[in-house]
Amino acid sequence: ELTPSELIEWSMVTSGTMTNRLDRLEAAGFITRHRNPEDGRGFLIGLTEKGRKLIDEAVTAHVENQHAMIEVLNENERKTLDRLLGKWLGTFE
């Protein structure tokens, strides 16, 4: 479970945008909101079973897409891609 503030920080959207998104996700049955026991004024956001199922489906589809994209590369191209992505990701550490 996360607070709306944590979600805002990770997604880099405004509080108004996050509120709108959370309202829509809650109405669709993907999340729940309940009072934060550590902060009676705040809420915690959690995934419902329906939300978890959607995440699982999205991750599975994403992995399948990655495999399909890499599948067309030969061994040398894969090594080059791996090296370049490693270099690129190193800039975030």
Write out pLDDT tens, residues 42-78.
Answer: 899 999 999 999 999 999 999 999 999 999 999 999 9
| CB contact at 8 A, 26 and 20 | no
Alpha-carbon 52 to chain mean position: 12
Domain ranges, residue 11: 4-47
Q: Is the pLDDT of residue 12 over 90?
A: no
| CB contact at 8 A, 2 and 45 | yes
What is the residue-averaged pLDDT of the chain?
94
How far is residue 18 from each of residues 11, 45, 46, 67, 70, measured CA to CA in Å? 9, 12, 14, 32, 34
Q: Are residues 43 and 55 in the same domain?
A: no
Q: Are residues 10 and 42 in the same domain?
A: yes
Q: Are residues 10 and 38 in the same domain?
A: yes
Q: What is the count of structural domains for the chain?
A: 2
Give the pLDDT score at 7. Answer: 93
